[in-house]
Amino acid sequence: MRTRSEIISRLVNPGIVAVIRTEKPEQLPELCEALVAGGVIALEITFTVPNALEAIRDASRRFADRALVGAGTVLNADMCRAAIGAGAEFVVSPISKLEIIGAAHAFDKPVMIGAYTPTEAQTAHEAGADFIKIFPADKLGPSYIKALRAPLPHLKIVPTGGVDLNTAADFLKAGCAALGVGGSLLTAEILKTGNWAELTRLAKAFVEIASRR
């Protein structure tokens, strides 16, 4: 079993966290296989996926030796504990729900807590969050991350929303620890057509950008 510090190390290397949202959980085996083939080893299965706990459990069984399977859209401590019980190795919340931190750490798992403002980000950090998920980051952009880290350089920031092949490098240059990538990686077209070769191609492109840090 990986320790919290080992999981953190893998999350930031290469530093691409795939935010997985699909209405068809039966796609997950091939979808995750395509991501791993492209070098994306952090697989965040969100609670918006139907039967999310079973999806996390199955993905953990299939990919634990090659990837980190995590849970996203975790909104409270009970959801956190259930996700970890199903095999999640890391937990991500879009909101500043601090009770999730203690629930994750009780099982020696890292947690990303959602924040939008400097106060929310620092509060989550002081409560023990391993990463701060700046969300949604699409309107804020890399310049906001750079400005945020100027007085708060200790924050390990993972922006989500607005991260694509055009902005990824700038987010990393601004000092982000990793990037949460959703719709620009798992595009609607890929999910509709099941073009897993294209998903692998996109995954490789994101990993290539992250490797230049």
Q: Which two tokens stand for residue 189?
A: 């077209």
Neighbours of 180 (CB within 10 A): 28
Q: Which two tokens stand for residue 181?
A: 């990538």
What phi and psi values does residue 33 have, to the nearest 5 degrees?
A: -60, -40
Residues annotated as catalytic (active site), given as ranges: 44, 133
Q: Tokens 């989500």 appear where? A: 160
Helix-strand-coil percent breakdown of the chain, rounded to 5?
A: 45, 15, 40
- By C-alpha distance, which of 161, 26, 190, 164 is closest to 94? 161
- By C-alpha distance, which of 94, 90, 62, 51 is closest to 76? 94
